[in-house]
Chain A
């Protein structure tokens, strides 16, 4: 009795009772389908979260945040300097574990950008150093970024994201052509600025696919005036806000907008943000120590700052993914377990029904182990065929999930999950088949032959 033969007979047995086998398999089918679909949805989620994290600056980014003066130093609260260019210069000189420092100075009022009769409110309009490119992982597609000369002379130049262009000059999807408004004048809170550069269009993988799909399908004709459907536009918030960014030189910001607009028109030299990148993620702890030491010097010992790292975000992503995996896995596991119990039940019924056949096989010389192998293989065949059907079903389940709960993150069906699901099902089949197979192998041939 070789193995191949046993598999062949197993398939025959399954085929002989098609409907019953299908019913037996349903637990495995549902289990595998839900396992694969769950893993696909979680993988989609994970991709989305990672994309978002990279869009917001990557894992090695550290934010230096302002914090109220601690209680034991409250008597010195009016001496607290806040985050200023002094800190930036000190960090660049004395904190070698920090590879990049990017100061940001934002408007203290609402920002409105106009061009002709168009207007837009950017998500971010700040004065920066060129270091911001590396800091926030920007890619300049058209024109140039501002240089030291612009900084030195406080030139009225700006670099914009595509979202600003879309609003002020026209969306390429609507106008049908890519407008590059380099050299155009726009007004930032009433002050004229020349556009010298434009970033690339940021979008998630999912958005890119949707856009390409939309391109291949002509838009439906709509009656009535041109209108936007919904606010905000496409995409996740991270990509959206990145596209609606506008940068001007830090010095320009200081001289044109900030030097006379502090409290009671007293110049306010405080920065809105100091972003840093550590030389290496492994050295995050010592790097933060180093920054703290430097800043305690420049801040006269007042600890009015704190750090926010992307570490927390990575941790959050990992715990969320872990939780989603666990809950989905438990549900799929229970389903597979129930499927296994179903298989065992049917196998027990089946050997009871075939007790005479087993007796005949034993009479003509089948050993106990041959019968054992036969029943076990049959259970595994049911489980594996069920798992295959489950893999097919999983595609439909994923479709269903995307229809029922459309999200930014398309589910990703992973082949390794499929393999795991198959192996797990085969294991369930083996475990479910063990007891019935043992029972069949132990049958006394005389007793078995006497049964009708």
Chain B
């Protein structure tokens, strides 16, 4: 059974009486442990796809199954719960809360899932260790560089051990070197078994993932890089 099953999903917006099909009858399967990129030019519907996959939005029609649960008809409350437990987000603009320090930012998802303060602290420190930022836990986001902020955001995405990690243009706001480091971090996560989905407009970034889903005008044109996919699998057997 796939981790995510999208069947005939459409998302239709109405803007000024005009019907816009952001997603047009999309079907998609994502297996556990995959490293996928969703690419497409702006306006192609890739963000809409990510929002629907990430349970931030509901489709107009079609069904979604995430980790065995049907979620297309879920209430906002249930969606929030699923986002909290099963999904981690990394955004282009980091989206850390400026008033909280690094540790508190990482603790935030656990606050909403009702984890006890002691366990929150332990798990947040462990997550920060994974991104090599445990010595910055008392700093404010504004005192960190862009790359460090993005690593905090990744730690926050990881801290509730989600089934899927979504990264929306995670390198879009970083210089090339830092961006490269962040991508390496995602590769590392993928090798360690996480399901990672990168959303980007940049084919070069998409090139690091074995599976690429290209979106144009709300439809999927999928390409799989067999060589990278094979390498990936070989790498994991070690």
Contact = CB atoms under 8 A, between A and B. Distances in A.
Interface of A: 1-2, 5, 12-13, 16, 356-357, 359-370, 445-446, 449
B109 A446 contact: no
Given A359-B95, A446-B56, 19 more contacts: A1-B114, A357-B97, A357-B98, A361-B97, A362-B80, A363-B54, A363-B89, A364-B84, A364-B108, A364-B109, A365-B80, A365-B109, A365-B113, A365-B160, A367-B76, A368-B76, A368-B80, A446-B51, A446-B57
B126 to A, nearest CB: 17
B67 to A, nearest CB: 15
27 contacts: A2-B114, A12-B99, A16-B99, A359-B95, A360-B96, A362-B80, A363-B54, A363-B83, A363-B91, A364-B89, A364-B156, A365-B83, A365-B84, A365-B85, A365-B109, A365-B112, A366-B80, A366-B112, A367-B76, A367-B80, A367-B81, A368-B76, A368-B80, A446-B51, A446-B57, A449-B91, A449-B95
B111 interface: yes
Nearest to A452: B93
When A and B form their complex, which 3 residue pairs have the shortest distance between CB atoms, in order from nearest?
Answer: A365-B84, A367-B80, A364-B109
Contacts of B98: 357
A315 B9 CA distance: 78
A364 B56 contact: no
Contact of A356 (B54, B76, B83, B95): B95
Most buried by A among B89, B96, B160: B89
Nearest to A369: B77
Contacts of B95: 356, 359-360, 363, 449
Nearest to B89: A363
Interface string B71-89: 0000011001101110001
B123 to A, nearest CB: 14
Given A369-B77, A446-B51, A364 B112 contact: yes
Nearest to A365: B84
Given A12-B99, A357-B97, A449-B95, A364 B114 contact: no
A356 B89 CA distance: 15
B85 to A, nearest CB: 7
Contacts of B85: 365
A1 B99 contact: no
Contacts of B114: 1-2
Contacts of B76: 367-368
A363 to B, nearest CB: 5
Interface residues of B, number: 26
Interface of B: 51, 54, 56-57, 76-77, 80-81, 83-85, 89, 91, 95-99, 108-109, 111-114, 156, 160
A118 to B, nearest CB: 79
Nearest to A441: B76
A359 B96 CA distance: 11
A367 B112 contact: yes
A324 B89 CA distance: 61
B56 A1 contact: no
Contacts of A367: 76-77, 80-81, 112
Contacts of A446: 51, 56-57
A76 to B, nearest CB: 91
A446 B76 CA distance: 13
Contacts of A363: 54, 56, 83, 89, 91, 95
Most buried by B among A2, A5, A12, A366: A366
B101 to A, nearest CB: 11
Contacts of A1: 111-112, 114
Contacts of A366: 80, 84, 112
A23 to B, nearest CB: 19
A140 to B, nearest CB: 71
Contacts of A360: 95-97
B56 A5 contact: no
B97 to A, nearest CB: 6
Nearest to B166: A363
Contacts of B160: 365
Contact of B112 (A13, A359, A370, A449): A370
Contacts of B83: 362-365
A222 B64 CA distance: 97
Contacts of B54: 363
B211 to A, nearest CB: 24
Nearest to B87: A365
A449 B113 CA distance: 21
Contacts of A449: 91, 95
A361 to B, nearest CB: 7
B161 to A, nearest CB: 13
